[in-house]
């Protein structure tokens, strides 16, 4: 119902909605249809025998977990990954009870009983976490599920080979209901890296130390594209669901989910030798049309983007309009000279990220990754969620 209502709001020229957008200065359009399409695409890639979970940590990569997670549930997702106990607690009431909610960073000391009471599923990353969870499970009839993480070479989370020997010698898994053993790839975005196979083989070797063969999970977004040897029983994509390119060497197979538009406040022609913005980092060398857009670094748009990135008008996407000068806290300057004298009313929206300005291209220009751009998106935007049916 809500989805349909919001679609009406976004597809009809609704004055109230337009005014709300303009008041915000910048607006973020999140296409839940594209999100669900991406989920289905990944599901079809791994086939019927492999489950597809979703990484929704960090507020679903900044896109709003309260809208994103239920949309993924409607697309068929039944396993969700967040980083912290706190994220799990706030997501639990948003999803039906049959959705498993996994805490990647594991139980914090003392949180075990709360995790069990709220039906949250910890990933156990260390002997310490295993011991604490097993102490809880020994004292209760409720066999709460957990995942066990093995360190296959990233040195971040998970049990080492030596830890596994202790785990087996002390029979620490007795009484635990481990649904999956998992690990994480460090270099999956570089399909040519020999470390991928190295980690996969190490993961297999570690798994064999365990008393029983348990279902396994290794791949996140990029790992899905390394081939079926990496899929095991469950994959855990995040970035690709949100439209990011999981295989940077190849064209992006995912549909864009995020569009970021910045509203224009004013524009003017400046003469040669006139400067723009803080520190006068840009000086016009010819008559130049400069627009001020209502998005700045406080909105997560990196201060260094001036001179490195561009925007477009969605109705003429072939004309790149460079961002010039230093980005300010609340605004930036755009060089509109290529548009000549085409009249543009205040409030005109320029695309900074979206179908014509891919997230991954902007990230590359700023020497970072799309993950950092998404999770850095600020809280001032007017957010619109597009969903044709729910
Ligand atoms: C974040 C994360 C994922 C998802 O990674 P993407 O690259 O966004 O697909 C999967 N597994 C673990 C352990 C993670 O930390």
Which residue among the candidates 43, 57, 73, 242 is catalytic per the annotation? 57
| Catalytic-residue membership of 371 | no
Q: How far is ligand 1, taken at its centre, from the CA of residue 221, in Å?
A: 7
pLDDT digits (tens, 9 = 90+) for 72-127: 999 999 999 999 999 999 999 999 999 999 999 999 999 999 999 999 999 999 99
Instruction: Supply the pLDDT for residue 2.
Output: 39
What span, in angstroms and rounded, lies between the C-alpha atoms of 196 and 186? Answer: 8
pLDDT digits (tens, 9 = 90+) for 359-390: 999 999 999 999 999 999 999 999 999 999 76
Question: Under CATH, to which class is 15-29+256-386 assigned?
Answer: mainly beta
Contact by Cβ (8 Å): 180, 234: yes
What span, in angstroms and rounded, lies between the C-alpha atoms of 184 and 196? Answer: 10
Strands 258-270 and 349-353: antiparallel
Domain 32-242 in CATH 3.20.20.10? The answer is yes
Q: How far is ligand 1, taken at its centre, from the CA of residue 327, in Å?
A: 31
Q: Kindly provide the b/e burial profile for residues 32-54, where b requires at least 16 CB atoms within 10 angstroms of the residue's own CB.
A: bbbbbbbbebbbebbeeebbbbb
What span, in angstroms and rounded, lies between the C-alpha atoms of 292 and 278? Answer: 13
Confidence of residue 13 (pLDDT cuts 50, 70, 90): low
Which ligand 1 atom lies nearest to the CA of residue 104?
13
pTM of the model: 0.94
Residue nearest to atom 10 of ligand 1 (CA): 220
Q: Does ligand 1 have an atom closer than 6 angstroms to the CB of 120?
A: no
Provide the β-strand partners of residue 312.
351
Q: Does ligand 1 have an atom closer than 6 angstroms to the CB of 55?
A: yes
In this predicted structure, the answer to whether residue 215 has a pLDDT above a threshold of 70 is yes
| Catalytic-residue membership of 39 | no
Q: Output the CA torsion 244→364→323→294 (10° steps).
A: 40
Confidence of residue 6 (pLDDT cuts 50, 70, 90): very low
What span, in angstroms and rounded, lies between the C-alpha atoms of 87 and 139? Answer: 26
Report CA 312 to chain centroid distance, whole Å: 24
Q: Does ligand 1 have an atom closer than 6 angstroms to the CB of 180?
A: no
In this predicted structure, the answer to whether residue 142 has a pLDDT above a threshold of 80 is no
Listed by start position, the domains of the chain span 15-29+256-386, 32-242
């Amino acid at each position: 119902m809500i989805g349909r209502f919001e679609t009406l709001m976004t597809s009809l020229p609704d004055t109230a909605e337009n005014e709300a957008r303009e008041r915000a200065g910048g607006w973020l359009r999140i296409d839940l249809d594209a999100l669900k399409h991406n989920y289905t695409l990944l599901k079809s890639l791994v086939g019927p025998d492999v489950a597809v979970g979703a990484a929704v940590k960090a507020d679903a990569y900044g896109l709003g977990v309260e809208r994103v997670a239920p949309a993924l549930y409607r697309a068929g997702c039944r396993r969700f990954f967040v980083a912290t106990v706190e994220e799990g607690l706030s997501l639990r009431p948003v999803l039906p009870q049959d959705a498993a909610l996994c805490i990647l960073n594991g139980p914090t000391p003392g949180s075990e009983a709360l995790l069990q009471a709220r039906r949250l599923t910890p990933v156990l990353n260390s002997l310490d976490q295993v011991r604490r969870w097993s102490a809880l499970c020994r004292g209760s009839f409720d066999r709460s599920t957990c995942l066990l993480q093995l360190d296959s070479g990233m040195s971040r989370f998970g049990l080492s080979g030596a830890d596994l020997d202790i785990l087996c010698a002390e029979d620490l898994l007795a009484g635990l209901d481990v649904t999956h053993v998992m690990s994480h790839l460090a270099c999956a975005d570089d399909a040519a890296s020999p470390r991928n196979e190295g980690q996969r083989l190490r993961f297999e070797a570690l798994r064999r130390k365990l008393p029983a063969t348990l279902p396994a999970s290794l791949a996140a977004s990029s790992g899905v594209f390394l081939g079926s040897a990496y899929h095991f029983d469950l994959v855990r994509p995040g970035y690709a669901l949100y439209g990011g390119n999981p295989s940077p060497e190849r064209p992006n197979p995912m549909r864009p989910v995020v569009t970021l538009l910045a509203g224009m406040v004013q524009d003017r022609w400046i003469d040669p030798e006139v400067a723009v913005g803080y520190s006068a980092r840009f000086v016009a060398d010819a008559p130049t049309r400069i627009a001020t857009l209502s998005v700045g670094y406080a909105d997560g748009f990196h201060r260094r983007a001036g001179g490195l990135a561009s925007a477009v008008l969605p109705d003429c996407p072939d004309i790149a309009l460079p961002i010039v000068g230093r980005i300010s806290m609340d605004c930036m300057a755009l060089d509109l000279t290529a548009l000549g004298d085409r009249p543009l009313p205040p409030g005109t929206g320029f695309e900074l990220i979206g179908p014509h300005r891919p997230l991954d291209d902007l990230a590359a220009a700023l020497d970072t990754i799309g993950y950092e751009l998404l999770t850095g998106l600020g809280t001032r935007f007017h957010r619109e969620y597009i969903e044709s049916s729910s």
